[in-house]
Amino acid sequence: MDLFDDLPEPKHTSGPASLALKAELQANAEKEEPRLKRKLEDAPEGREEEEIKKVCREGIPVLRGYVAARRGEREEMQDAHVLLPDMSGCLAASPSPVSRVSYFAVFDGHGGARASRFAAENLHHTLARNFPSGETENLDKLIKKCLLDTFRKTDEDFLKKASSQKPVWKDGSTATCVLVVDDMVYVANLGDSRAVLCRVEQRPGGERRPVTLALSKEHNPTIYEERMRIQRAGGTVRDGRVLGVLEVSRSIGDGQYKRCGVISTPDLRRCQLTATDRFIILACDGLFKVFSAEEAVKFVLGVLQEGDTEKKEGLTEEEVRFEAASQRLANEAVRRGCADNVTVILLSIDF
């Protein structure tokens, strides 16, 4: 049995366009090989290892995050988010031979903003403390354990703090976290915030078609497995909610519902990024109440493909487009009538 619910690999074709692309990549690799070899040979003694690491990093994708948050018609902004394109500053040591670790997350609070803020402030620090280091034989297994332990500890720590308050805090929060280790994406999620990937597939004849891949799984009490767990724990589901109140079946916090089968164990998915991947949308349910995943991806692609872009100091044209796409996607969610908080993180993928 696999450790993770893996996503499908990108499709490959044997048509003329695919063969041409393969030949082009091979030619580029052959051109680069002598240059990289000379670079290593010319490196001063003691810097060879550093140069090797630089060479290895050239094939690793760079993810940049762009965020847009709207309060909507709510009295309080209960969403929280984290953007850490380079998490190395939080890690005591990276596992060998990992070159880059990135972390992005969105938290959608309910009953208040304390659980979402607590998770945003603490979850990645707990993750960093638990993160594998040194020589590792089975990194996937260690990362899975790290994510499961991190979510459990974050929930326990918040519940302990919440129960010590007078009156007791009753806040809860969804959590969807994207952890990128070199070119491998690990997604851990609770509740109904979601992550989706835009991947461009090449068909015979050279046609390129964008596809939308779900990187997360929603948890609500109407799903059979979730409802069965809640009922086995002695809880009930009424009007699609736990005890007729709580909309999600997994969360951080919500101490009063933990005895009813609401858990903090995340679903885990893994996906290897390729040069055919364009971006990831990470957002709370405020976006997906008025957008399907496919509609959101199509909307972002439309903005990215527009001709004229406003120049901004310090940003490339592509960065300006992604920034605009995140802002306009959040604005459009509000325009379509979403009264909830809306938080959108758009992650560009650049090889």
pLDDT band, very low/low/confident/very high, at 22 (cuts 50, 70, 90): very low
Q: Which residue has the higher pLDDT, 84 or 52?
A: 84
Give me the mean pLDDT over the 204-212 stretch.
89
186 CB-near residues (< 8 Å, 6+ apart): 4, 143, 144, 147, 178, 179, 180, 268, 269, 270
pLDDT, average across residues 253-267: 97
Tokens, residue 150: 């991190």
> Is the confidence at residue 14, as pLDDT, over 70?
no
Predicted confidence (pLDDT) per residue in 111-126, tens digit: 999 999 999 999 999 9
The token pair at 189 is 């999620």
317 Cβ partners below 8 Å, 6+ apart? 309, 311
Q: What pLDDT sits at residue 4?
A: 62
Among the listed residues 121, 230, 111, 216, the one whose alpha carbon sits nearest the alpha carbon of residue 173: 111
Run of H or E including 194: strand 194-202
Top-confidence residue, 46 or 208: 208
Q: Per mean pLDDT, which of 10-19, 42-51, 166-175 is the most reliable?
A: 166-175
Range with the poorest average pLDDT among 35-39, 208-212, 256-260: 35-39
pLDDT at position 177 is: 98
CA distances from 82 to 119, 122, 234 (A): 10, 10, 35
Residue 47: pLDDT band (50, 70, 90) is: very low
Q: Higher-confidence residue: 41 or 169? A: 169
| pLDDT for the residue numbered 259 | 96
DSSP 8-state code for residue 274? -
- Confidence bin at 146 (pLDDT 50/70/90): very high
Average pLDDT over residues 15-44: 44
List the alpha helices (DSSP H) in the chain: 16-42, 48-57, 114-130, 139-163, 224-232, 285-288, 293-304, 317-335
| pTM as predicted | 0.84
At 40, is the pLDDT very low, low, confident or very high (cuts 50, 70, 90)? very low
pLDDT classification of 30: cutoffs 50, 70, 90:
very low
pLDDT for 10 = 54
Q: Is the pLDDT of residue 5 over 90?
A: no
Integer Cα distance of 127 and 102 in angstroms: 12
Hey, what are 103's tokens? 């972390």
User: Positive or negative CA dihedral for 187, 214, 117, 350?
Assistant: positive
